Structure 1
Amino acid sequence: MKVCLVYPNLPPVVDGVGEYTCHLAGELAAQGVEVTVISGPVPEGAGKVCPVPGNVRLGRTIHRWGVRGLGRLLRAIRETECDVVALQYTPYAYARCGLGVGVALLPHILRVRLPCKVAVALHEPWIPFQGGPGRMLVAGWQRLATGYMVGACHRVIVTTEKRRRQLQRLMFPMGGNVSVVPVSSNIPVVECDRAAARAHLGVGDGETLFAIFGMSHRHRDYEAVYRCLRTLIAEGHACRLVNIGKIASPGRLQALCRLEKELGLEGYVSWTGFCDAETVSRSLQAADVAVMPERFGISTRQTTLMAALSHALPVVAWRGPETDPVLERSGAIVFVGAGDEEGLTAAMRAAVLDPDVRNSMGARGRELFEEHFSWPRVAGLTLKVLERL
């Protein structure tokens, strides 16, 4: 089978879906698929694009992803002579304003002009209906554009069960055309001197290090974790927190720094900022517990969760409407109802007091990852979906 993966941003551009696309391409190729990746340009001097094995081919570079660039994109896809085109979709990757018309038209044009089948993987198809009038209009447009786009696709892939239900019941009753394929981890496990990694983060002997991994968006309830950490420190527990990942905005950082000062947490909370995959892996291995305060609950669309599980790092997390049954049934994650700060404090306290429980949780998490979310598993599920076209 010949598969063409399409996504504008590949490494070294910082884009989680771009990293996902590279990993998926490499694993599909390892399973015998002829893979071509079509993407946009790389900033000058940024380094090698798409660090995947040599048996993955890079197609023609696309500089425009709007309507005016459709002709070049169509020619690039035709040159691959692929059996299936698999679009990786988030609206802001194809248009900075999130209102991409060209990508919404692309599946319809492909079905008319080329003999290949068309699939789309919806990673983040739309933003929620929140904020001012402009944001509400964008959210509505993105839903209309997604509906128009998937209406021309032979198969739609989503990353969570909730998203599948949304597409089938609320918007696009497409029956068996929607398949769930979870994400995997974009952070390979590297060799690590754990003592040195902990010392680098300022962790003392006997201290428990909690970690939050991911961009500091407002949908992550850092404030709740800070308050829980303050409670544990006030009880006399030796613990601290490291925030691993890119800071969403200066305003967000300033607000959290003010909260640190108000709660007396100065010296107990650190930030790594954006760092490469190797540094992230060492930081995760230095930590004792991952805390995932997603306001809508953790789910199988989060590569940050998969990174923690793959590193055998115990996870304490909010349970919410986004949380998938496979995670709840696993017994590998300590769940607390979203917003329950007393429950979160109790779960974090238990992790501090019992290292054996932490080790057991980490081992179960790693088993869960290997069974359901490893790259061979995710690529295999993707291939099964594409082979049914």
Structure 2
Amino acid sequence: MLMKIIFICNKFPPAIDGVGDYTFHLANNFYQLGHDVSVICAYCELVQQKVSSGCFNYNVFPIAKSWSLSDLAIIKPVINSYKPDWLLVQYVPNSFSRLAIPFEFPLLLLRIKNQDTRICITFHELYTRMVYWPFKHLISALAQRWICTKLAQVANLIVVSIDITYSLLQTRTDKPIHLIPIGSNILPFHIPDEQIVSTRNELAPNGESIISTFGNRDQDTLIQVFCKLVRKRPEVKLLICGVLRLSPEGLCLFDSLKDKIIITGHLPNRDVYRLLRSSDVFFLPDPVDSSGEGGTSTKSGSLAAALVAGLPVVGTSGHMNDKLLSQVKGLYLGDYTNPDELAYLILKAMEDKTGGKLNQEFASSFLAWEYIGKCYNDLLSK
């Protein structure tokens, strides 16, 4: 059954944002399935330029200013004119409010909702940890929980991506909650073997092993672990697909290792995929606090990118480790606070001759946008 669908998100490509990338790929998949697709997002000059030059296959409206009731006058006419079957809202608290407390957002959705339009909310995040000091953090955490509850009341359909979000949201609503994984924001491209060999020779001219990372990672821990790794195996290189974000202490350690570290800056997706394909191991130093909160999960688009590229992966153990993650064969999880253990696991992953291939097979089954789109399509068609 073909439907009219409007996606609602804050940032949208070419603006850099993980949820925006998710929305972009899902909207593309729905368009390819034949649905009538539109996107409403925040105003951004880069997005407006893409719209003006006709770069999108469907209508994109970069019109929202604050995601408050003051935007009702510009958002509701678009929705009324298209008469969509579904609004697909991509929710993260800090996307819809500068202070990450979007008080008016549930009411805005309620006001733009009408009798023939249903709302599906994908909760990419719910709220921050409950801390009691500073006091403003406590207020923010309480407000986010209230907003989360109100959004669940507005939604006709609720989607989350990992088990921990599912469990937490169950305390906020009696409505059914549906688990749909997150796909890679880096799609696979055809990279000829000779180009991979050429890239490896450029990155590691002396035949060094290449450890890569990508996304918003804890780079201080990354550098600490790499330092331990260099002591065990000097013939390694670290490839950071992105920019450097280190504390002063981390910069000092970086200076002693910089001849073994490659920093690419921001790159087109095709180049990121080529570099990942040219690597040996992918490392995700996902933070974990003293209570065990955090860790690697299939919520990570960076993890999905590594799996799509066919790399064995080293991550961290924490409460965010989800059931789907347990099906990833070429994955090694270690103690976030133990750089020696993480370095050992990277060495172990470097010897893994089958993990990358198994990861690629896993990604093609569970993290492909065709599969994710089908999961949504099945739910929306009921």
TM-score by length of 2: 0.88
Q: Is the 8 A contact 2:106 2:154 kept in 1?
A: no
Q: Which residue of 2 aligns with 1:280?
A: 272
Q: Is the 8 A contact 2:67 2:105 kept in 1?
A: yes
Q: Which residue of 2 aligns with 1:346?
A: 344
Partner amino acid, structure 2, of 1:190 = F
Q: Which residue of 2 aligns with 1:39?
A: 41
**C-alpha distance after superposition, 1:270-310 (max 9, x if no partner):** 32233221232222122210011212221121100000011
SS at match of 2:45: coil
- Once residues 133 and 52 of structure 1 are traced to their aligned partners in structure 2, the CA distance between those partners, rounded to angstroms, is 47
Q: Is the 8 A contact 2:66 2:97 kept in 1?
A: no
Q: Which residue of 2 aligns with 1:86?
A: 88
Alignment of 1:68-147 (within 5 A): 68-111=70-113, 113-129=114-130, 132-147=134-149
Q: Which residue of 2 aligns with 1:179?
A: 178
- Once residues 307 and 228 of structure 1 are traced to their aligned partners in structure 2, the CA distance between those partners, rounded to angstroms, is 21
- Once residues 46 and 184 of structure 2 are traced to their aligned partners in structure 1, the CA distance between those partners, rounded to angstroms, is 27
Q: Is the 8 A contact 1:88 1:120 kept in 2?
A: yes
Listed as ranges, the gaps of 5+ residues in structure 1 are none
> Does 1:292 pair with 2:260?
no
- Once residues 232 and 241 of structure 1 are traced to their aligned partners in structure 2, the CA distance between those partners, rounded to angstroms, is 10
**C-alpha distance after superposition, 1:79-107 (max 9, x if no partner):** 21111111111122222221223322133
Q: Is the 8 A contact 1:23 1:375 kept in 2?
A: yes
Q: Is the 8 A contact 2:214 2:240 kept in 1?
A: yes
Q: Which residue of 1 aligns with 2:319?
A: 321
Listed as ranges, the gaps of 5+ residues in structure 2 are 288-293
Q: Is the 8 A contact 1:23 1:186 kept in 2?
A: yes
1:154 counterpart (129, 150, 156): 156
Q: Which moved more, 1:316-325 or 1:338-347?
A: 338-347
Partner amino acid, structure 1, of 2:363 = F
Alignment of 1:295-306 (within 5 A): 295=287, 296-306=294-304
- Once residues 247 and 239 of structure 2 are traced to their aligned partners in structure 1, the CA distance between those partners, rounded to angstroms, is 14
- Once residues 44 and 59 of structure 1 are traced to their aligned partners in structure 2, the CA distance between those partners, rounded to angstroms, is 12
1:361 counterpart (355, 372, 378): 355
SS at match of 1:273: coil
Q: Which residue of 2 aligns with 1:214?
A: 215
Partner amino acid, structure 2, of 1:38 = I
Change (3 A) 1:149 1:351: closer
Q: Note the C-alpha offset of 1:173.
A: 3.4
2:370 counterpart (376, 381, 386): 376
Q: Is the 8 A contact 1:212 1:292 kept in 2?
A: yes
Q: Note the C-alpha offset of 1:236.
A: 4.3
- Once residues 235 and 91 of structure 1 are traced to their aligned partners in structure 2, the CA distance between those partners, rounded to angstroms, is 42
Q: Is the 8 A contact 2:40 2:60 kept in 1?
A: yes
> Does 1:243 pair with 2:240?
yes
- Once residues 8 and 50 of structure 1 are traced to their aligned partners in structure 2, the CA distance between those partners, rounded to angstroms, is 19
Q: Is the 8 A contact 2:125 2:165 kept in 1?
A: no
Q: Quote the RMSD (CA, aligned, Å).
A: 2.5
Q: Is the 8 A contact 1:86 1:119 kept in 2?
A: yes
Change (3 A) 1:47 1:141: same
Change (3 A) 1:85 1:321: same
Q: Is the 8 A contact 2:126 2:165 kept in 1?
A: no
Q: Which moved more, 1:148-157 or 1:40-49?
A: 40-49
Partner amino acid, structure 2, of 1:184 = G
- Once residues 56 and 18 of structure 2 are traced to their aligned partners in structure 1, the CA distance between those partners, rounded to angstroms, is 21
Change (3 A) 1:129 1:195: farther
**C-alpha distance after superposition, 1:341-364 (max 9, x if no partner):** 343222112234x3xx24x11100
- Once residues 82 and 135 of structure 1 are traced to their aligned partners in structure 2, the CA distance between those partners, rounded to angstroms, is 38
Partner amino acid, structure 2, of 1:146 = C
Q: Note the C-alpha offset of 1:182.
A: 1.1
SS at match of 1:195: helix
TM-score by length of 1: 0.87
SS at match of 1:267: helix
Q: Is the 8 A contact 1:298 1:317 kept in 2?
A: yes
Q: Percent identity?
A: 22
Change (3 A) 1:274 1:232: same
> Does 1:229 pair with 2:226?
yes
Q: Is the 8 A contact 1:12 1:49 kept in 2?
A: no
SS at match of 1:227: helix
